[in-house]
Every structure is written in C-alpha cells, then in structure tokens.
Structure 1
C-alpha cells in the first residue's frame, strides 16, 4: 500500500528468517524458467521428441495442482515451518535425482516429486515471511514480490549458463541452492503457531460450487493452457543454443516482473479489472497467432515470446485479484482452489501440444494456445457482472471492496478532522505525530486510519495482519495521542490487493466528513511505485477534495497535487 508503509530503511530491517525464505523463493521461482533453455538440449542428448520432453512440465504442474488441494490441510496440522521444510527437502532430493537421471522418463518422474515439494513450499512461503516479519509487513511483502521478479528474470539466464556446461547443470544448480535455503530455513525460521482452525480437506473442492470462483478458475485454466504451450514449445523453433535461449527468456522475465508491479496497477486503476483482462487476453491470443504463423521464422518467434512477457505480467497480477474479488470463501481456500484449477490447465497443455505437434505440425499447438486465450475472454465475460459487482461492493459474502471500520470512540457530528493514513510499520508513530502537529495548528481533531491490506501475489492471497492486530494498532496510536493531550479518533481500512481503490475509498470518506487535510508517509516501495498512476497515493491525490500532504519526520509537509506527483515521478526516474 503505497501510502501506508514505513520508511525505505524498514524494508531491510527484517529478521534472518525472512531473508532465508526470500532467498528460497528466488530459487523456487527460477524453477520453470531454469529448465526452458535446456529443452532442445534435453531432446537431443536423451534422444527424445519434443512431446516427450514436454512431460517435464506436465508431471510437475499436474502434481503441483493436485497438491494445492491438500497443502492447506497439511499446513494447518503440522504448522507452516514444517510444511516449508518438507517442501524444500522434496525439491532438493528430486531436483538432484532429475540431474542424475539418464532417461527422459526418469526426469519426468522426478519432476513430479519436485512439483509436490514446490506446492508445499509456495503455498506456505508467503505466510511464513509475513508471520516472521518485523519492521513492517509491507517490507516483507515487497521482499516477496522482489524475490518473485528476480526469480522469473534470472532463472532463464542461470539455466542458460548452466545449460552450456551440461543439461544436468540446471537441475544440480537448483538442488545446491535449495539445500542452502533449507539449511537457512531450519536454522533461522522460528517455530510458528498452528492456525486456530484446521482447514478441511474437502474445502478447496467445495469452493468450486461458487460460480464466481469456478468461472475465474476456468478462465485461469485457459490462460495457463496458452501460456504453458508457449513456454514448453517456443524454444524449438527459435533454433538457439542454451545460453541464447536463456537470454531470450530473461528478457521475457524482465517484462513479466516490470508489467506485473508497475503497469498492471495503473491499467487497473484507469480501466477496471475486467476490461484490462479482456484486452490482455486478446493481446496474448494475437501474440500466439503470430508465433503460429511465423513458426518457421526464429526472429518472429523470439520477438513474440519476449513481448508476451508484458501481457503475462499484467495477467498474473489482475487474475488473482479478480478471483479474490468474487470468492465468498476464505482467501486461503480460494487460493488453493484457484491454484488447483489453473495448474491443471498448465500441466495438460504441454502434453496435448506434444501430441498435436507429432500428429500435425509445430504451428498447430500455438494456434490452439491462441484459441484458448480468446476462449478465456468469453468465459470472463460470463462472469463480468460478478467482477463488476464485487468492485462496486455489491457482492455477497466476504468484504471485497476496501471498507472502513470505526475503532474507539465515535466522533461528534460535524467534526472536520485531519486524517492520517498509516500501516503496520516502524515509523507509523512518527507519521502520526507529524499529522498531529497539523491537527494542532489547524484546531482539528486527528483521525488515524490504519490501512490493513490483503497481499495478492500470483495465485496467493494472504492477510498481512489480522483484524485484531489492526484494531490494537489504532488503539495504541489513540492512547499515545491522548497521553500528549491530542483529541483523536480511529478507523481501520481493509483492502484486498487493489491499492488505487483503497485510495479512492479514503478520499470519499474524507469528503464525507469534510476533512481538513489528509496526511500520508513515504512508501518503502520507493518513489516510482508510490507516485505512479494506479498507486494508493496517486488515486488518493486525484480523488480527494481535501488537501493531501506527504509528511516526513523533521520536514515541512509537501502538498500533493497532480503536478507535484508528476514532479516526484520525474525526480525518481
């Protein structure tokens, strides 16, 4: 949440447990991209057809999909750390066995075990980082996002470099790096308490009874069908060696990371979730058609694959948010259900593509992948009203639109407060004190709004803090202010992933109470993310009728306007 996190320094003030898991996340997210550059080499050295090599994706992703149904059940019984450790052990063992294997069948089988370990790890890693974080939940989430982006971008590069030595290199490389992560996790991650309520084994499948979740899941299945068709088969018509393939997919990964973090929120804020997804899926359909038509032109395939990274980055960010918007079940259950359905599509696509390529030509799987992207548009359209209603807060079930909850005493009618938005960060008290000075100077009541957000990353959604913790944080601020003779009230603003909508909700609340000023602090995401269109800060500034100021300890408040946001963006570029 751009406006509510602490100083940049708090990002690095994390315990060793967070860094250990973040390192493991980087290696885990390298997984798929690491293998891509060596696919042609595998086929050549093991005398296998592309369709046989594609089973590396199928076994890995199908097992990951099925495992997503049980990881919540397992984690709620043995605890997050043990689940994490078991996942890491499986990855180390099976990636090493894959590297030592002498047949394509052996590698396919060991990749299945690797997929099981990856599911156990990925499903709990974000929760462990958040639970172990200090210096602000925001910093921990940023580290996770950074690990995701770094893994996606660097994985193909490392895979290409190791692949020049031997096709076994990437497998042994993962095993060695994950072994280091395993040791660090055992040594530094503390034992974490088990959830108070155990997850039912049947809960993820039962969740598919809800039309919204089923619709979005099918859309994601079709999207993954096209995506993994491209990932599994595009390397062959490029006619490049492992190192060159690594560079191509590194370019692709950089676009995935950049468009996921910086571009997707801006597009979502301007056009809405569903319209952006429509355009994005159509764009992917066009890219896949270009690959199919130009399958005999390596340059055309290379350019199309790299460009697809932009669309994939946007889709990865917005699809999970859309799932959380329409899901009337617990977010952990929704994440498991969504992961199951989408990975099934990703797992089956390479297998079917291989059979089609063997029976027809290499272009046919890409045409089918393009058709899957277009079909996903129609599936999304069938649930358009659900997504739109959720964004407008008309959906039933769990709150999906950012919502305010009063904490402490109810203010007197007609109060015109100074509002300060803060999060669970080390410098939150300092930001509140700066806002209190503004309230004192203007003779206003101070209203502390604690922003509690659900982090939505890839197929995962997790509350960065529970409701009780957020309320306690507000009460702590109020007690601190009372001790200094300052009249104050409090609110908790709960948000799911969409920073811009949360900013607009706060702006509307400020208008309703005729707030004198709205104060926000610096974001550890950095000025580029904080001041870009689609961020909490930008949306709040554009929508607010009140004066919005950026406050920093010891500095004069800086008024935010459309012009000053542009200046701040320019300075940070």
Structure 2
C-alpha cells in the first residue's frame, strides 16, 4: 500500500500558511478582552459616561451578528482566502481609525467596522488552518486551540500594558499586529477551492424555523446578555488601573480557555449537555448576584469575575455543542444562525445596562444579568427533549454507515482511521495482521465534528471521506485482501466514538481492533476523553496500537498471539 504523507511528529511543525493564520487568530481572540482594561480610562479621558463607552461593545457585536448572516454566502462565492484577507484588511483599517479619533462616538463607529472584519475572519480561519495543515486534522485543531488560549489569556494583559501608556495603545497595537498577519496571509496562504454548492443568502434565517435551533439561539441570547453585562461593566467597580485590570482579565481568560478546550467536553460526556448547562447557568446567575451585592467592594467583584471564567468557558463550548446536536441543517449554516441571535443579545445588553445604571445604580444591571442567566435555564428546559433525543441519536449509539455495498463479514480485523496523514500506514499494518490471521479487514473511517469554544468544524466533507476510504479498499482488494468500509460520524466527543466502535467490534466478533497513535497530547486526551482509552475499556476484542516501523502493541489483556489461535 502506498505510504502517502508521512505523519508530522509534532503538530506545531506546519507550513507558513498555517502559522500566518494562527498568528492572526491569536490577535483576533484578544478581541474584547483587549479593550476591557481601558474602559475606565476611556470614560475619564473622553469625559464620557460608562453607558456611552459601553456602546463600543454594542456596535461591535450587533454588526458582527448581522455579518454572521452573510459570511457563508460571501465565503462560498469568493473563496476562503479572499474572505480571510478582506476580514483582516477591515480590522487593520478600523482598529487604526479607532485609535485616531477623539470622541466616544468615533470609537463606537469604528468598532462597528471592526466587528464586520472579525466576523469575516473568524468564520473562515479554522477552515483555512485545517485545509492548509500538514500535521493532519488533529494537529490543526491543537494549533487552533493553542491560538485561542493564547489570545484569550494574553489579550487583557497586552491591553493593560498598552493601555497604561494611552487608551489609544490597544487599538494601534491590534492594527499593527493584524497588518503583519494580513501580509503573511497574502504571501503564504494558497488559494483554497470553493464549495461545490454555494450557500444561499437566506439559509441562516430560514434555519431559525427549526425549533431546536431557535431555542438554543434564544438561550444563547440570554446567556450573552448576562455575559456582556459583566464584561462591559465589571471593570468600573474594580477601581483598578489599566495594568491591574489587564491582570484580572488575564486570570479570567486563562480559566475561559482551560475550561472551554479541556474540561467542557469531559463534563458533557460524563453528565450530558443539558444537565451541565443547567448547573452552569445557575452558577453564573449566582456569580452575577454576588457582583451586584458586592458592587461597592472591589475585591468581591474581582474574585467573582475571575471565577466566572470557568463557567463561561464551559458554556461557550457546550452551547455550541448543543446547537450542533439539534440543528437539522449544515454546520456552517447552523453556526451563522446561532451566531446572529446570540450576538444580538451581547450587543443590546451593554446598552440597556448603561441606561439602567444611569437611571438607578450600578448593581441593577448585574442583577438583571443574573436574571437573564436564570431565564436561559427556562428556555433550555423547553427544548430539553430535543437535546436529549439528539444526544441519544449521536451518542453513545450512532449507526455505523456502510460505504458502498454492505457485505457481511465474519470475525474481521477492524482498523479505525481518521483524516490523518498516517491513515494509509495504519491500514497497511492492519492488513498485515488480517493476512496473518486469515481474516477479512474492515476499515472504519471516523469522521468527527470538533467543537472548539464557539466554533464547529468537520475534518472533511462526507463525500471526501467516502472517496478516501473507497480508495483504500480498492487498493487492498487489488492486493488480494478482502476489505469492506464503514463511516463513523461523531460530534465533539472522542470517548463516545470509541465506545460506539467497541460495541460494533463486539457485535461482529472482531479478532482485533487496530488504531493509530493519537496526535493529541495526554492532557487533551484526559480532559476531552480518549477515543483509544474508551475503545480499549469497552470492547472484549483485542485492541492494538499501530505505529510506523514498530511491532503492534496490545492495549488490553489479550495478546496478539491469541489471534492466530482464534
């Protein structure tokens, strides 16, 4: 069997195109956290009220919301690279203009343009990284997760440092860094193919007719109402300078990144999406009540905001997880619909909070934010059956789909592969085991939709996955190996996919199940759940780990010698 591309030993060994976009991702993820440390300085230096300053959130998020409706339509027609470049160019221009103005109204207006650019960039960046990565899909995801974590954590820190010099610093800083990313993207990112079928302009709006997607969108609107109330107004009662505010929100950002990337998927697998979201929303409601009650005690506000990062990280991932579970439309369309509704909530909240703070006192917006979190529980409960039914359909027992003609096999060797560069080598090694055991080979292509923070992406198109596994089967057949193929679809849960394969292996009385070595590190596998570990513990079959140039290594008590006797 042809070897194909050699797997990258390190997910960070990537082409310049990937690094160019990853660098831009770090700057983009700094986003809102970058400006939080300068909010009090803006109000003071520009002689504005907190409610006036809050409009820079409103303009940014409302424009982002509307842009989410058209990003798919634009990208499917001009291509991912041009969409990416357009978004970066808009950010460079409008971030710089925001730093040159002398009025709050000017900043608010230029932040609106920034929001348009960010929507275009974020909607395509992950897809470009995945398409350009040489380290395979898993390596691309690791790199994107790293960029996300760095951006969320470093943004407030950089904003605080630059803001301590001048409130204009963060704006000029973003513009300069994004300009570097723009040049690198133009030079290093290749043209990527457009989708075979362009996205219809009205598709995201039409998708909201589906009850499950609309329910999750309204829940996210309420969640974002509370979240952006806190983000927009918590800096004021802290009574800190820009540098110290930056440190506070850096601590917050570290918890957001850690809990969204590592712990949210594990909690979802253990307790289920809806249960975790109920508890999480309730906890956020308590945090907001604490901030409201302690609004005159800076230490209380500081601690509450930092702690909230853990709950926000979980929520960002699991609300997206729930949307992908219940949405009966394509992932990209569901993301656009959901993004539109939730960003509307985020945009309106700071404006309303400002009016309430001016009319009453600063505690009232936080109490209202807490109520919004509790109302989100009620909305989510109205769609509980939809989410539970979707989870039951997708995990733990999704149906394995035959590729081509379904041919019954007896006691096969099963090999699981993904969209990785070493897939051909893993299949070749498994074919050797099948020949030695005198058994047919069953190739299972695992196609997982990955949920990262607020993004969802498929590693490959369904048609590409089918073609890839068909090519492998044809090559095996030409070599005299009896082989069949299956597709295993999974959404955001590595461990559930492993258990599904284990169940299938037991049903067909597999002689052994062969898997390749995971590109994800031990920490990620522990937090997100390991496909291989779940498979090993759930099946009665022998599981062997295959690595290029190494003897197959058994992962459970059975030994390879038993295969020859079976």
Aligned to 1:29: 29
SS of structure 1 residue aligned to 2:65? helix
Task: Single out whichever of 403-412 and 250-259 deviates more from structure 2.
Answer: 403-412
SS of structure 1 residue aligned to 2:102? coil
SS of structure 2 residue aligned to 1:122? helix
Q: State the distance in 2 between where 1:464 and 1:503 align.
A: 17
State the Cα deviation string for residues 53-93 of structure 1 (Å, max 9, x = none).
Answer: 11110110001001111111222222222111111111000
Q: State the distance in 2 between where 1:247 and 1:101 align.
A: 27
Q: Is the 8 A contact 2:225 2:349 kept in 1?
A: yes
Task: Single out whichever of 445-454 and 28-37 deviates more from structure 2.
Answer: 445-454
The aligned runs of 1:1-80 (5 Å cut-off) are 9=9, 11-80=11-80
Q: State the distance in 1 between where 2:525 and 2:556 align.
A: 14
Aligned to 1:511: 506
Could you tell me how far 1:406 is from its partner in structure 2? 1.7
Q: State the distance in 2 between where 1:119 and 1:400 align.
A: 34
Could you tell me how far 1:514 is from its partner in structure 2? 1.5
The aligned runs of 1:333-482 (5 Å cut-off) are 333-393=333-393, 402-408=398-404, 410-413=406-409, 415-482=410-477
Task: Single out whichever of 381-390 and 544-553 deviates more from structure 2.
Answer: 544-553
Q: State the distance in 2 between where 1:544 and 1:533 align.
A: 20
Task: Single out whichever of 200-209 and 403-412 deviates more from structure 2.
Answer: 403-412
Aligned to 2:538: 543
Change (3 A) 1:274 1:561: farther
Q: State the distance in 2 between where 1:401 and 1:24 align.
A: 39
Aligned to 1:314: 314
Alignment of 1:200 onto 2:200: yes
Could you tell me how far 1:485 is from its partner in structure 2? 4.3
Change (3 A) 1:6 1:460: farther
Alignment of 1:111 onto 2:149: no
Q: Which runs of 5+ in 1 are unaligned?
A: 563-573
SS of structure 1 residue aligned to 2:513? strand
How many residues are treated as equivalent by the alignment? 553
Could you tell me how far 1:360 is from its partner in structure 2? 1.1
Alignment of 1:257 onto 2:257: yes
Alignment of 1:270 onto 2:266: no
Task: Single out whichever of 219-228 and 429-438 deviates more from structure 2.
Answer: 429-438
Could you tell me how far 1:550 is from its partner in structure 2? 2.8
Q: State the distance in 2 between where 1:298 and 1:166 align.
A: 23
Bigger RCO of structures 1 and 2 (CA < 8 A, at least 6 apart): 1
Q: State the distance in 2 between where 1:143 and 1:56 align.
A: 30
Q: Is the 8 A contact 1:400 1:495 kept in 2?
A: no
Could you tell me how far 1:546 is from its partner in structure 2? 2.3
Q: State the distance in 1 between where 2:351 and 2:213 align.
A: 26
Alignment of 1:219 onto 2:219: yes
Q: Is the 8 A contact 1:56 1:111 kept in 2?
A: yes
Change (3 A) 1:412 1:7: same
Change (3 A) 1:8 1:78: closer
Q: State the distance in 1 between where 2:447 and 2:400 align.
A: 10
Could you tell me how far 1:549 is from its partner in structure 2? 3.1
Q: Is the 8 A contact 1:77 1:194 kept in 2?
A: yes
The aligned runs of 1:221-300 (5 Å cut-off) are 221-300=221-300
Q: Which runs of 5+ in 2 are unaligned?
A: 558-566
Q: State the distance in 2 between where 1:528 and 1:400 align.
A: 23
Could you tell me how far 1:524 is from its partner in structure 2? 1.8
Q: State the distance in 2 between where 1:93 and 1:294 align.
A: 40
Question: Which residue of 543, 547, 557 corresponds with 1:552?
Answer: 547
Change (3 A) 1:372 1:143: same
The aligned runs of 1:94-243 (5 Å cut-off) are 94-243=94-243
Could you tell me how far 1:177 is from its partner in structure 2? 0.4
Please give the root-mean-square deviation of Cα atoms over the aligned residues, in Å: 2.2
Could you tell me how far 1:286 is from its partner in structure 2? 1.1
- TM-score with structure 2 setting the length: 0.93
Task: Single out whichever of 264-273 and 173-182 deviates more from structure 2.
Answer: 264-273
Q: State the distance in 1 between where 2:518 and 2:217 align.
A: 33
Change (3 A) 1:139 1:178: same
Could you tell me how far 1:14 is from its partner in structure 2? 2.8
Aligned to 1:565: none
SS of structure 2 residue aligned to 1:11? coil
Q: State the distance in 2 between where 1:537 and 1:361 align.
A: 54
Task: Single out whichever of 308-317 and 428-437 deviates more from structure 2.
Answer: 428-437
State the Cα deviation string for residues 374-409 of structure 1 (Å, max 9, x = none).
Answer: 110110000000011111129xxxx99744222355
Could you tell me how far 1:254 is from its partner in structure 2? 0.9
Task: Single out whichever of 97-106 and 183-192 deviates more from structure 2.
Answer: 183-192
Could you tell me how far 1:13 is from its partner in structure 2? 4.1
Q: Is the 8 A contact 1:84 1:124 kept in 2?
A: yes
Alignment of 1:486 onto 2:446: no
Aligned to 1:82: 82
Q: State the distance in 2 between where 1:63 and 1:547 align.
A: 54
Q: State the distance in 1 between where 2:206 and 2:199 align.
A: 12
- TM-score with structure 1 setting the length: 0.92
